[in-house]
Chains A and B, each alone.
Chain A
Amino acid sequence: GAVVSQHPSRVICKSGTSVKIECRSLDFQATTMFWYRQFPKQSLMLMATSNEGSKATYEQGVEKDKFLINHASLTLSTLTVTSAHPEDSSFYICSVLAGGSYEQYFGPGTRLTVT
């Protein structure tokens, strides 16, 4: 499967600041990436679908102006949490869609804590 990295793995920021999380597909050119968040002891919640060279598609209830997604290349997608609030504290995970398959390969996740 594809190897996916995320950076940073952990970040602590102050309320009101913005944080950028990078998702890289290291060995695979990904036209489609997904961004999820996971709350403690809950399932993965899809936030948005990121397509290379076009605007991301956001799920209902996810604010596109708050969670900015950029997929400028086939190996990099970024999620920027703008004006972060404590309730944005969560585990954010990206995934890469394997070509011609439903299989998604996930990054290791980023733990965001907003103080």
Chain B
Amino acid sequence: DQQVKQNSPSLSVQEGRISILNCDYTNSMFDYFLWYKKYPAEGPTFLISISSIKDKNEDGRFTVFLNKSAKHLSLHIVPSQPGDSAVYFCAASAGSNYQLIWGAGTKLIIKP
């Protein structure tokens, strides 16, 4: 049972435009959500996170939105840059063991 779902395996966006990556979850006990970026043959890099008590968190070009009633979160990147091309993972956590439940990832391709 996939508790964290990223239904789009890939997304192609023009450079300079907004990239919107989506993530859905099923477990209402999740209270913290994170986005990671990963290049091939490298470890994931933490991008941005959001607690369930908030609905928006912004850091530079990256904004994460959380809609708890819909169990949906999204990552907005604006403006998109060529270096943003990577696989983006959504992850969620609940409880005190700090383990993360990962989505399958979305490959973002920024076109020049």
Contact = CB atoms under 8 A, between A and B. Distances in A.
Interface of A: 1, 4, 6, 32, 34, 42-44, 46, 49, 91, 93-95, 97, 102-109, 111
A107 B43 contact: yes
Contacts, number: 50
B41 A106 contact: no
Contacts of B43: 4, 6, 93-95, 106-109
Nearest to B100: A104
A1 B99 contact: no
A43 B46 contact: no
B41 A109 contact: yes
A104 B89 CA distance: 13
A44 B44 CA distance: 10
Nearest to B90: A43
A44 B89 CA distance: 9
A32 B98 contact: yes
B34 A102 contact: yes
A43 to B, nearest CB: 5
Contacts of A102: 32, 34, 49, 93, 98, 100
